[in-house]
Amino acid sequence: MIEQHKHIEPRVTLLGAGPGDPDLLTLKGVKALQAADVVLYDALTNEALLEHAPKDAIKVYVGKRSGEHSHSQDAINRLMIDYALNYGHVVRLKGGDPFVFGRGYEELDFAASYNIPVTVIPGISSSIGVPGLQQIPVTHRGLSESFWVITGTTTNGKISDDIYQAARANATVVILMGLKKLSQIVEIFKAAGKSQLPAAVVQNGSEENEKLVISTVQNIVAKVSEEKIEAPALLIFGEVVSLHPSFKNIIQQYATIS
């Protein structure tokens, strides 16, 4: 049973850290960290953000990265409540936006079951922010009227059924956590007749060590292997990728080779 210390006013802030660059945190997010008693932060958050928190604030790494699950979601939920009841204001710092594949609602719901007030502060989702930083708009007049944001791997480890539907659409398709499934995803797009569709992969988007690969569906797997792209990486499929300044040069290179 989680017990509450007297005279403590527990509250939780679910804070989106943005795609990686610490300067992309919102001003409201900075203010929340400055008022934190405890910060619980994920693997995909930049530790430079912790400098906004008071020196005497408790900082706890609860990162969950593929192949390195240091805390289960249930354990994180309980830690969040325990710290709130015993210390006061807990800032739950999550990569990107808390509600875009961040399981933020599960944490909000758990806190609500203890009658602990929760404030949500959105973050810039990598699904929109990272393509934009690369000058790739997710929508553009005449090229794409909508965009899909899909997880590459579902909770059962399989490819999302939505990818099959998205591959047949004219929309821009942004896939998070999909690098390990890239070969399978590419085959889905090929089966939909999209072998020549522009595609991009961005590793560590918005950070100093980011890497970008641009090609077509047909050649993107080879290019990713050649450039040694690793997770975390974001996949972009769509005609909008052709707007990137380097795309024409890449297509000319392949035309010369063939």
Q: Backbone phi, then psi, for 178, in 5-degree steps?
A: -120, 5
pLDDT in tens, 132-189: 999 999 999 999 999 999 999 888 888 999 999 999 999 999 999 999 999 999 999 9
For residues 64-90, one letter each, b for 16 or more C-beta atoms within 10 angstroms of the residue's C-beta and e for the rest, the string is: beeeeeebeeeebbebbbbbbbbbbbb
User: Taking the alpha carbons of 191, 187, 241, 45 in that order, is the dihedral positive or negative?
Assistant: positive
Q: Tell me which of 64, 180, 190, 223 is the catalytic residue.
A: 64
What ranges in the chain are assigned the alpha helix state H? 27-34, 73-87, 104-112, 126-133, 161-168, 182-191, 220-226, 247-257
Q: What percent of the chain has pLDDT over 90?
A: 84
Rounded to two decimals, the pTM is 0.91
**Sole residue written with tokens 């790739």:** 136
| Amino acid letter for position 86 | N
Output the pLDDT for position 251: 66
Q: Does domain 126-257 have CATH number 3.50.50.60?
A: no
- Using CA atoms, how far residue 139 sits from 171, 236, 243, in Å, is 8, 12, 11
User: Taking the alpha carbons of 203, 249, 242, 138 in that order, is the dihedral positive or negative?
Assistant: positive
Are 130 and 234 in contact by the 8 Å Cβ rule? The answer is yes
Q: Give yes or no: 80 in active site.
A: no
**Integer Cα distance of 111 and 92 in angstroms:** 11
Q: Tell me which of 80, 94, 97, 177 is the catalytic residue.
A: 177
Class of the CATH-defined domain 11-121: alpha beta
- The three-state secondary structure class of 162 is helix
Break the chain into its structural domains and give their ranges: 11-121, 126-257
Q: Give yes or no: 180 in active site.
A: no
Please determine whether the domains at 11-121 and 126-257 fall in the same fold group of CATH.
no
Q: Give yes or no: 42 in active site.
A: yes
How would you write the pLDDT of the chain (258 residues) with one tens digit per residue? 456 556 789 999 999 999 999 999 999 999 999 999 999 999 888 999 999 999 999 999 998 655 555 678 999 999 999 999 999 999 999 999 999 999 999 999 999 999 999 999 999 999 999 999 999 999 999 999 999 999 998 888 889 999 999 999 999 999 999 999 999 999 999 999 999 999 999 999 999 999 999 999 999 999 999 999 999 999 999 999 999 998 977 766 655 555
Output the pLDDT for position 45: 86
Q: Tell me which of 21, 37, 42, 97 is the catalytic residue.
A: 42
Nearest to 13 by CA among 24, 31, 1, 23: 31
**Integer Cα distance of 93 and 91 in angstroms:** 6
